[in-house]
Structure 1
Amino acid sequence: MATWLRWILTHRHGLRRKRGQVGRLSAIFVADQAGAPMRSCDQALAQVDAGLADDRYAVGRGFWRLTDGCQVTLIHAEDLARAQRRHGLSLDAGQHRRNLVVTGLARTELRNREIRIGDALFEWHRLRPPCGYLDRIAGPGTAKALGRQSGHCLRVRKSGLIKVGNPVNVS
């Protein structure tokens, strides 16, 4: 089990933060194309109006790219820990299909805000709930276990390098 997920499972008290508080980037995942396994990265380059370099959406090979694609997707580590605890799912290797895993930020704090991670600036775009495609790739019941509020779409507004461990500043 990943260190960040083990920490969340042992510290499951609510991590509600006020505007301007800082979270942490716990993990970065990319995939070469739709349906390909996610791979963990220590760092990634966020590219304006594209996404993360080498990720399926930045290179135009995402499953939803033409109809509903997101430049960058984000999920809270607390949501992953809850799904693992309640449903016994193993999600620490990127089975959740999200690019960024953050910890220490309340979900509602991201809506209509800018998010700075490392040298990059992101803008919250919309919620990105898990869908049936996730069940086809990661296994039946995964989408339901994560819940309808467990994903966000972000747009890249300023290119830059992001690294696991970077602070996540919301403004």
Structure 2
Amino acid sequence: MNGVGTAERIYTAPDAGVEMVERSDVEAVAGRGLRGDRYFSDIKTGTFVTWDADEDRKDGYDLTLIEAEAVEAIEREAGIELAPGEHRRNVVTRDVALNHLVGTRFRVGSVVCRGHRLCEPCGYLQDLLGEDVLDALAHRGGLRADVLETGVIRPGDTVEPLD
């Protein structure tokens, strides 16, 4: 993997625990996340974080990304086949090392983001899938990021570090 990759697929979920919906494009709004996603609201509708309209939004909930190569590797190495969107991440990338983007500004299409922290797999994801994904996705479960500059993300967009 080099430093420049592509966004292959985009997903959002309007509520916690519901099936991810594949999108042909999505507006990413600075400080809010992806329009139509469960974490876009001023009042948290996701699973792992709590904030109200009168609180500051927590970092790392605007956007999640996962490498297509990681999804392919868990199928090859652990025999775990994930249907599209079952990984519960918003953007599937190819040819970019997402772990290297923690603490870094990067661009997805016209959207400028900052990598906040790794998006490690959790017991909730494992329960949803009914598969033992904790070990299979450890340290390759993706990246949590904040949207710094509003724009649109589409499949085929370039993913590249800016710092």
- Classify the TM-score, shorter chain: 0.7 to 0.9
Residue 47 of structure 2: which of 63, 67, 74 is its match?
63
Partner of residue 7, structure 2: 25
Partner of residue 135, structure 2: 144
Partner of residue 134, structure 1: 125
Partner of residue 117, structure 1: 108
**Counterparts of 2:72 and 2:154 in 1: how far apart (Å)?**
21
Report the number of matched residues.
153
Q: Percent identity?
A: 33
Contact 2:24 2:155 in 1 (8 A): yes
1:84 deviates by 1.2
Partner of residue 55, structure 2: none
Q: How does the TM-score come out when normalised to structure 1?
A: 0.83
1:63 maps to a residue whose letter is T
Return 5+ residue gaps in structure 2 as ranges: 52-57
Return 5+ residue gaps in structure 1 as ranges: 1-14
Aligned to 1:121, the other structure's residue is in SS state: strand
Is 1:37 the counterpart of 2:37? The answer is no
Instruction: State the Cα RMSD in Å.
Output: 1.7
Partner of residue 158, structure 1: 149
**Counterparts of 2:89 and 2:125 in 1: how far apart (Å)?**
10
Contact 2:102 2:114 in 1 (8 A): no
**Counterparts of 1:107 and 1:159 in 2: how far apart (Å)?**
20
Cα distance 1:70–1:148, how it changes in 2: closer, same or farther (>3 A)? same
Aligned to 2:27, the other structure's residue is in SS state: strand
